[in-house]
Amino acid sequence: MEIIETKRLLLRDFKKTEWKVVHNYASDPEVVRYMDWGPNTEEETKSFLERAISRQKEQPRTCYDLAIVLKSQKVIIGGCGICVSNPKNREGWIGCVLHRDFWGKGYATETAMTLLHFGFERLNLHRIFATCDPNNLASAHVLEKVSMQREACLREHKWAKGKWRDSLLYAILDHEWKLRDTTIEG
C-alpha cells in the first residue's frame, strides 16, 4: 500500500470499504461544480473505487488515486491523484478534490506540493501538468502557489455536464521544481 506522509496529511491508497465517505464529497454538487464528473451516484462512486483499487496492482504502476487523510482526526477529507500519462516523455498529471468542510485551510496546496514531489522524486517525471475550470479561482490559485505556470487556456477542451468547457492548463518542469521557492507551505 502506498502511503505518503506530510505535516498534516496522509496520502494513501483507497480501500473498497471507504465508498460511503468518498461518496459524501463526490455526490456534493458544490464540491464537484467545476469537475468534469459528478455529482456521483452511489454506483459511480463504487465504480471509481473499483478502478482505483485495480490500478494499485498494476506493474509498473502508473496511476495513483489516493485518499487524503487528515492525520489529527484520522478522517478522509478528499481524494487526489497523479498519473503518468506519457511514459516515453516522462509526463504526468495531478488532480485533487476536497470535502467542502476542509476548503480554505491549505490542504489542497499541501496535497499538490506532495504530489509534485512524488512525481519528480519517485516517478522521475520531467513535466507535470494540471487543468482546471477557468471559473475555479481557488484551484488556479493553488496551482500557481505550488509554482506551476499557466501555459494555456484550452478552448472547449472538455464535454462536461452537457456543455463544452474550457480548461486552464498549468505545468511545471523538473528543473523548475528544483529551483522553486522551498518556503511554500499549505
3-state secondary structure labels for all residues of 122-163: HCCCCEEEEEECCCCHHHHHHHHHCCCEEEEEEEEEEEECCE
Which run of H or of E encompasses 109? Answer: helix 107-117
Q: So what's the pLDDT on residue 30?
A: 98
Whole-structure pTM value: 0.95
Per-residue pLDDT of the chain (186 residues; tens, 9 = 90+): 679 999 999 999 999 999 999 999 999 999 999 999 999 999 999 999 999 999 999 999 999 999 999 999 999 999 999 999 999 999 999 999 999 999 999 999 999 999 999 999 999 999 999 999 999 999 999 999 999 999 999 999 999 999 999 999 999 999 999 987 565 544
Question: What's the pLDDT score for residue 96?
Answer: 98
What's residue 2's pLDDT?
Answer: 73
Q: Where are the domains of the chain?
A: 3-179
Q: Determine the pLDDT at residue 186.
A: 44
CB 168 within 8 A of CB 155: no
3-state secondary structure of 63: strand
Please state the length of the chain.
186
Q: What is the spatial order of strands in the sheet that 3-5 belongs to?
A: 3-5, 9-13, 63-70, 75-86, 91-98, 127-132, 163-173, 149-160
Asked whether the beta carbons of 130 and 108 are under 8 A apart, the reply is no
Q: Which CATH number fits domain 3-179: 3.40.630.30, 2.40.50.140, 3.40.1000.10, 3.40.190.290?
A: 3.40.630.30
The angle subtended at Cα 155 by Cα 52 and Cα 36, nearest 5°, is 25
